[in-house]
A and B are shown apart, each in its own frame.
Chain A
Amino acid sequence: GIQVEQSPPDLILQEGANSTLRCNFSDSVNNLQWFHQNPWGQLINLFYIPSGTKQNGRLSATTVATERYSLLYISSSQTTDSGVYFCAVKSTGTASKLTFGTGTRLQVTL
């Protein structure tokens, strides 16, 4: 099946700093979503972005499907950004199955 690797696995930032999270996938996809899992375990949808670039406030994402990677940018980070960030993809050949990446654990400190 498709492999989804995220980097870095862990990240510590001071409040106000910027960061870039990466998601690499091993096969062509027709669906890519970024999620934020807060400390209570809730998965929050950030972006649906199988290709192109999107922005939502301090967050933006870019997916280059032909090169099989996606990037999530966090600017002016805040302590509320702490948690785990997952990308998840659906391979073109596997219909509705959403496969999650390994995750990036982010801690934003004061």
Chain B
Amino acid sequence: SAVISQKPSRDICQRGTSLTIQCQVDSQVTMMFWYRQQPGQSLTLIATANQGSEATYESGFVIDKFPISRPNLTFSTLTVSNMSPEDSSIYLCSDGPLLLRGLGKNIQYFGAGTRLSVL
């Protein structure tokens, strides 16, 4: 199974500030994914982080609010900008298909999540 390290594991932030979440995977992957889980809800995809190109955002999520970086094939960051209490959620990163062809990985793994509370 993949090893995905995510940090911080939790944080309490003041409204109007920004938080950057880091995600490190143990293999080179073509894509990485960022999800949000609001309290009591299911997981919703925020965006797909592509190496060498802009992230692809899902409907309802914009780059100004959730800027994403993908500097290499094993690392990505998600920033939650200008936070409000409505941003209080668990944010999870996930790995995508392996870069090396032929190893064919279909199973998607998740980091332990970042539990964010905004006051």
A86-B43 contact given A41-B113, A45-B1, A96-B31, CB 8 Å threshold: yes
Is B97's CB under 8 angstroms from A96's CB? Answer: yes
User: Which residues of B30-81 are within 8 A (CB) of A?
Assistant: 31, 33, 35, 37, 42-45, 48
A31-B106 contact given A41-B113, A100-B43, CB 8 Å threshold: yes
Interface of B is mostly: strand
* Chain B residues, Cβ within 8 Å of A66: none
* Chain B residues, Cβ within 8 Å of A35: 110
* Chain B residues, Cβ within 8 Å of A42: 110, 112-113
Kindly state the interface size class of chain A when it binds its partner: 20 to 34
Q: Mark A16-59, 1 if CB is under 8 A from B, else 0.
A: 00000000000000010101000011110100101000000000
Which B residues fall within an 8 A CB radius of A? 1, 31, 33, 35, 37, 42-45, 48, 90, 92, 94, 96-97, 106-110, 112-113, 115
Which A residues fall within an 8 A CB radius of B? 31, 33, 35, 40-43, 45, 48, 50, 86, 88, 96-103
